[in-house]
Amino acid sequence: MSEEYEKIADHTQIGQRRISTRHLPDGVVLRGPLGLVASVYVDGQVVHRARDPERGLFECRAEIMPNGDWLLLFPDGGHYGRAAEKVNDMLAYRSRDGGRTWAGEGIAFAIDYNQHGFVPLVPRGSARVYAFGTQPVWDELRINGLRAEDGLHENVPIGFRHSDDNGQSWSEVTLIEPINDPGFRGMSVMRMCETEAGTWLIGSHEGDWSYRPLMTRQYVLRSEDQGESWTLGPHKRHGGWCVPQFNRMDEGRPIDLGGGRIFMMTRTCAGHLWGLWSEDDGRTWSAPRPTPLVHPDAPPMLFKLSDGETLAAFHHNRHSDRDYTGLSGAKAEMMRDRSEIWLSISADGGHNWSAPRFVFANALGEAFASPFRNYQCSYMDCIIEQGVVHLFVPHRWQRVLHLTIAEADLVNLPLAADLA
């Protein structure tokens, strides 16, 4: 079955160039088993294939457990947003040798409702692991009547579970009810952070598909007492951040810069990733503004390098249609914009970024009727350990890839000019 979905295409696209997969630029190779063309510095393995390729799988997240195990989680099956029954499970793989081999698949949460993203947190000095994320519990979807035709069907509680045995078992879910907006409903799928002061910050957004085009608003949930209580910023609904021209901003990713400084990078459909900054531990924020990173309507993939200060943003470096304001999954070219991954570095907390360097691009041919599944290389996660960058990619929503790059080789990845 996998051969049907994993045929290497005759051509791929890198930047603005259509390139034969048999005649690649210097420094770029075909990684056939991975279904990618990639820098020579990139290698990896396939960890998992979707149980049903037509339903696929979704966001990958990996975390190092307090005992040193690596835990990789992702939902496998259909999306919860329009599901009237259980269609997916949160699957778990575990590595006890630093990612060289993986054991699985197991079901992480034995629950009767669907899952979206897994957002991990291991507080400093703690043996407890937390799993945050969107919680589409049936009571919300059925009793409160969140139907697709109403436009609010993906807005559900945000909640978390905890594990005291390195992710082997998990508590029941705790739903977050912000003090200033107890009924808040939204989505959370991107990484969160713990600040130097011990504050927890997680991005969340609301969406309303009854608007034409779609309306979204970005928020941040903030807790100073390790999840006992929360506030919603910058204001309660519907006072979140957006790009006014497009009425959109979502999937924000906060990252701690130290000294009370926080940077949050967000998804927009304006052609660039946007950023906003806090100087007071996430209590107040600057006005959002565009970063120089060219990006389609897709999430930010933002991490810290091993020095704990330098930021690495993996982004698509493409945006084909600046007039299109619908979701990218509805249009083939917009999804094709997600087929490449480039890297930029910031040494000043996200204010300035290096020229993009090419990491990899999809090399598989079209196999699905929906463009949503033919190109996707977004929603990646990252672990940096012992000088190696480990990337976890839900490739085409069909396969989970574990890619590796030596951290020292990030500066050797090719620039666009090197590929000409």
The pLDDT score that the predictor gives to residue 329 is 55
Q: Tell me what percent of the residues of the chain surpass a pLDDT of 70.
A: 95
In the block, tokens 């992480």 appear at 108
Q: Which residues, in sequence order, are CB contacts of 125 under 8 Å at separation 6+?
A: none
Q: What is the mean pLDDT of the chain?
A: 93
Does residue 98 lie within any of the structural domains?
Answer: yes
Higher pLDDT, 54 or 153: 54
- Among 149-158, 309-318, 355-364, the minimum mean pLDDT is found in 149-158
Instruction: Give me the mean pLDDT over the 126-131 stretch.
Output: 97
Tell me: the pLDDT tens digits for 65-121?
999 999 999 999 988 877 888 999 999 999 999 999 999 999 999 899 999 889 999
Q: Quote the pLDDT of residue 333.
A: 81
Strand stretches in 114-259, DSSP E: 119-121, 129-134, 158-163, 174-175, 193-194, 200-208, 215-223, 231-233, 250-258
pLDDT one-digit tens code per residue, 197-208: 999 999 999 999
Residue 259, classed as helix, strand or coil, is coil
Question: Rounded distance, CA 389 to CA 405, Å?
Answer: 5
Q: Is the pLDDT of residue 307 over 70?
A: yes
In a domain, 12, yes or no: no
We report the CATH number of the domain holding residue 136 as: 2.120.10.10
pLDDT confidence of residue 189: 87
Mean pLDDT over 134-163 rounds to 78
Q: Is the confidence at residue 264, as pLDDT, over 60?
A: yes
332 near 318, Cβ under 8 Å?
A: no
Q: Is the per-residue pLDDT at 212 higher than 90?
A: no
| Residue bearing tokens 């917009």 | 334
15 found inside a domain: no
Average of per-residue pLDDT across 8-20: 93
CA atoms within 13 A on the CB side of 145: 2
Q: What is the mean pLDDT of residues 403-416?
A: 97
Distance CA 158, CA 206 (A): 11
Task: Classify residue 16: in a domain, yes or no.
Answer: no
Supply the pLDDT for residue 331.
Answer: 73
Residue 114 lies in a domain: yes
Instruction: Average the pLDDT over each of 112-121, 252-261, 283-292, 384-393 and give the range with the smallest value.
Output: 112-121
What is the pLDDT confidence band of residue 51, given thresholds at 50, 70 and 90? Answer: very high
- Asked if residue 347 has pLDDT above 70, the reply is yes
Both tokens of 413, joined, read 């990845």
- Which residue, among 70, 56, 33, has the nearest Cα to 382 in the 3D structure? 70
Q: Mean of the pLDDT values across residues 48-62?
A: 95
- Domain ranges, residue 274: 2-7+24-419
Given a contact cutoff of 8 angstroms between Cβ atoms, the answer to whether 86 and 113 are in contact is yes
pLDDT band at 152 (very low <50, low <70, confident <90, very high): confident
More confident residue, 223 or 370: 223
Any domain includes 329: yes
Please tell me which residue, 358 or 327, carries the higher pLDDT value.
358
- For residue 126, is it within any domain? yes
Question: Does 9 have pLDDT greater than 70?
Answer: yes
Is residue 213 very low, low, confident or very high in pLDDT (cuts 50, 70, 90)?
Answer: confident
pLDDT confidence of residue 15: 87
By percentage, how much of the chain surpasses pLDDT 90? 81
Assess whether pLDDT exceeds 90 at residue 149.
no
Q: What is the pLDDT of residue 320?
A: 82
Q: How many domains does the chain have?
A: 1
Q: What is the pLDDT of residue 209?
A: 85
Evaluate the CA torsion angle 404, 405, 406, 407 in order and state its sign.
negative
Q: Is residue 17 assigned to a domain? A: no
User: Could you give the C-alpha distances from 2 to 30, 50, 76, 161, 314, in angstroms and in order?
Assistant: 19, 9, 16, 34, 28
At 325 the pLDDT is 61
Nearest-CA neighbor of 338 among 353, 357, 325, 320? 320
Which residue intervals of 188-346 are DSSP H helices? 332-336
